[in-house]
Amino acid sequence: MPSREEINYFGAGPALLPTDVLERAAQALVNYQDTGLGLAEHSHRSELASTIVREARADLAAFLDVPSDDYEVIILQGGGTGEFAATIYNLVGAWVLKERTKLVQSGLPDDDASAELIKALKAKVDAELKLDYIVTGSWSLKAYQEAQRLLGPEKVNLVADARKEVDTRAGTASKFAAIPDESTWKANLSPNAAMVYYCDNETVDGVEFPQFPPALVPSAGNTTAPVVADMSSNILSRPVPVSNYGAFFFGAQKNLGSTGITVAVIKRSLLPQPSADLLRALSLPIGPIVLQYEIIAKNDSLYNTLSIFDVYIAGQVLKKLLASFPADKAAGQQAVAERKAKQIYAALDAHSDFYHVAPVPAARSRMNIVFRIAGGDAAVEKAFISEGTALGLTGLKGHRSVGGIRASNYNSISEEGATKLAEFIDAFAKKTKA
């Protein structure tokens, strides 16, 4: 049986966690701070639990330089998939309040029971309410489809669709191989959208935005809509230009911690929500209260029973990151991530006749390196996975929807582990082609 030190796990999630964090967590699970109780047994209403949650939120804000006066960090449940719905409910609610304020300022009654106000608001909803989506992979496609399901297709605008891109390397249409050129987005952005949504890193397809999309920078006058991003698989791997976002969210199980908690960072001005009666009068969906950011924020992320043990693990990961990069913080981790990705891609590119990296170079993810071998030969890919596993390189099988190989290069993958994978990629190609 292999030891933990002999394994380099490249699975996409739940992902590898630092060994020292797990060792502390193991002790905490049995007897936390000599209380005689394990951390999972303590009440989430206890001061002990409140401290863990408070510190985790503060440390995340510190690592990402989140301006606390303008943004709220909240911890909740539901995963990234739950956030597909949560962002819709919360951002549509914020949009309704914004339009309500405009109408009251124009002279309409400041009364949700006013038939005149409701009629004018309903006209606004019918004529102007839109959600904009940029689809670049499997997860943003799921988010787009959830928006259509909750609001109806007529309220959801597809700004860009990577499925229509052509992979010129192969000369055929290739699903999610590239990010559509931003020059094609601008004319498609809605004039008064409740939000514009994109996935910063597509875990399944290996596509990552190299930077915040210039076409969405608020100061450039491209869109007035709050920008919302799913950062589930690349959070904490590079700095985030927080002020460009209305909100961003991420599941913990890639770079932050264990499965079970989700984090959202949202602009405070977007927190207030309209009453359920007003939404009902406007024929808009009313979201579950456990997904309402305003409620979660007012209760310091403890509105309902939160998994404090999972928050503790995330908090320990954050403390380790802050200790590792006390000055550069996320920029320090970015340098490491880029060095690791560079050597893995270099090994693949050295045998471009044998390995085919799924996305084009400009869209390659540093976190999820997706590729096919020998034209997608199932036997050869199976041999690659088997031989890699024998060397302690595990978790390399591609997502079930796309097949092939996927090496997830999350923060917990060491530079030595990345080097070992790169060396195996090179050796396997030479041996198989010989």
Within the chain, which residue ranges are assigned CATH 3.40.640.10?
Answer: 57-313
- At 364 the three-state DSSP class reads strand
Within the chain, which residue ranges are assigned CATH 3.90.1150.10?
Answer: 328-433
Confidence of residue 164 (pLDDT cuts 50, 70, 90): confident
Q: Report which of 245, 168, 233 is spatially closest to residue 368, judged by C-alpha positions.
A: 233
* Domain topology for 57-313: Aspartate Aminotransferase; domain 2 (3.40.640)
Give the Cβ contact number of residue 269 at 10 Å: 13
End-to-end CA gap in the chain: 32
**pTM for this prediction:** 0.96
pLDDT in tens, 86-143: 999 999 999 999 999 999 999 999 999 999 999 999 999 999 999 999 999 999 999 9
Q: Report which of 242, 246, 143, 122 is spatially closest to residue 193, judged by C-alpha positions.
A: 246
User: At which residue do the structure tokens 């606004």 appear?
Assistant: 124
Give the Cβ contact number of residue 341 at 10 Å: 22
- Which residues lie below 8 Å from residue 175, measured CB to CB, with a gap of 6+? 162, 163, 205
* Domain topology for 328-433: Aspartate Aminotransferase, domain 1 (3.90.1150)
pLDDT in tens, 31-81: 999 999 999 999 999 999 999 999 999 999 999 999 999 999 999 999 999
Distance (Å, rounded) from C-alpha 48 to C-alpha 28? 12
